[in-house]
Chain A
């Protein structure tokens, strides 16, 4: 597998105990199953990527003609939603099913349109990034939207208001970017480096530590961590040694 991401759904949160007996809050994500709907190639599109779709029941009347043509090209059933994810360089040249004579994708990473993607793409990873759409808060005030302090809470004050938004004679205008009330939520939010706490291949579940943006049953894009934390002491138990610190220690010992 050389795809770096998968589409999923937020199921809910719970907690688990690890081997040390410490409790961790986890978010349960249903990741996939996904299918590759199209492969973008360097030769044709100028970059390498895979367009993946979340396999979920879609009414055939909800699929318009251009989309059904797109799905028909790679011979996949209609999918709920699609995203493009990066493709890793060819790691294993296996998975060349010789059944199809034409071999739609000639790229060397062993992927082809119609391939299924499951949670097991994360089985070697420790961290993932999750992109979701945050919960909608409607038209929100400044205290909620921008974490303003608000006014005094007693003696006849208004306490959820913003106060002054600028001086009068100079500059006699409001600077652009002044934070004000407005629509809040329903934004794309990325959470990076969530530790994987468990993978359930039977139910396509991925358990990550911490919160994930969006409501329950909200769709998310899970991808391999772009910049995972540096391997250091305590990264994988107390026995791991930070190479940087170890070398520093060694040089300090030499000087003495």
Chain B
């Protein structure tokens, strides 16, 4: 079913626009807002974007290796928790979802780097 035109316009209004363009395969550093009691601070989560969902409720999945353990976080695009997203580097990938990286580790889990703006 196609989206209602009113919903389309509303979604565009609610969509946040300050995030840079990034695609699966990119390595990004996500500044995550963390609340500790009253204070709020930023924590970076750096890893490879292995999936991105589009639309009004879009999200993206970032995977990183933390002390030999694979860690994935899913961030809604419109979430207030995401303060900033910085693109670190890009890689050449041939599919939209890089879930095959979950089965690989070390040298095998590398991606070929490519210059992209």
Same assembly:
yes
A interface list, Cβ under 8 A from B: 11-12, 14-17, 19-21, 23, 28, 30, 200, 203, 205, 216
Cβ A12 vs Cβ B14 within 8 A: no
How many angstroms from the CA of A20 to the CA of B9 in the assembled complex?
A: 24
Residues of B75-117 whose CB lies within 8 A of A: 76, 78-81
Cβ B33 vs Cβ A14 within 8 A: no
Q: Kindly state the interface size class of chain B when it binds its partner.
A: 10 to 19
A21 contacts which of B11, B57, B79 (Cβ < 8 Å)? B79
Given contacts A14-B56, A203-B9, contact A21 B81 (CB under 8 A): yes
A205 contacts which of B3, B10, B33, B79 (Cβ < 8 Å)? B10
**Chain A interface, DSSP helix/strand/loop, else mixed:** strand
Is B54 part of the binding interface, using a Cβ–Cβ cutoff of 8 Å?
A: no
Q: Can you report 28 A-B residue pairs in the complex whose CB atoms are below 8 A from each other?
A: A11-B4, A11-B6, A11-B7, A12-B3, A12-B7, A14-B11, A14-B14, A14-B56, A15-B56, A15-B57, A16-B14, A17-B79, A17-B80, A20-B80, A21-B33, A21-B79, A21-B80, A21-B81, A23-B76, A23-B79, A28-B6, A28-B7, A30-B6, A200-B10, A203-B6, A203-B9, A203-B10, A205-B10
Cβ B9 vs Cβ A14 within 8 A: no
Cβ B78 vs Cβ A17 within 8 A: yes
For B9, what are the chain A residues with a Cβ–Cβ distance below 8 Å?
203
Instruction: Count contacts between A and B, CB distance < 8 Å.
Output: 40
Cβ B33 vs Cβ A28 within 8 A: no
Among B3, B13, B81, find the residue whose CB has the most chain A CB atoms closer than 10 A. B13
Cβ A12 vs Cβ B79 within 8 A: no
Closest A residue by C-beta to B82 = A21
Instruction: Tell me the minimal C-beta distance from B81 to chain A in angstroms.
Output: 5
Cβ A14 vs Cβ B79 within 8 A: no
How many angstroms from the CA of A136 to the CA of B98 in the assembled complex?
A: 42
How many angstroms from the CA of A256 to the CA of B79 in the assembled complex?
A: 48
Could you list 14 further interchain pairs (A-B, Cβ under 8 angstroms) beyond the known A11-B4, A216-B4?
A11-B7, A12-B3, A12-B4, A14-B10, A14-B14, A14-B57, A17-B78, A17-B79, A19-B80, A20-B80, A21-B81, A23-B76, A28-B6, A200-B10
Closest B residue by C-beta to A216 = B4
Instruction: Tell me the minimal C-beta distance from A142 to chain B in angstroms.
Output: 31
How many angstroms from the CA of A19 to the CA of B3 in the assembled complex?
A: 27
For A216, what are the chain B residues with a Cβ–Cβ distance below 8 Å?
4
Instruction: Tell me the minimal C-beta distance from B6 to chain A in angstroms.
Output: 5
Closest A residue by C-beta to B6 = A11
Among B3, B10, B56, find the residue whose CB has the most chain A CB atoms closer than 10 A. B10
Instruction: Tell me the minimal C-beta distance from B85 to chain A in angstroms.
Output: 16
Cβ B10 vs Cβ A28 within 8 A: yes
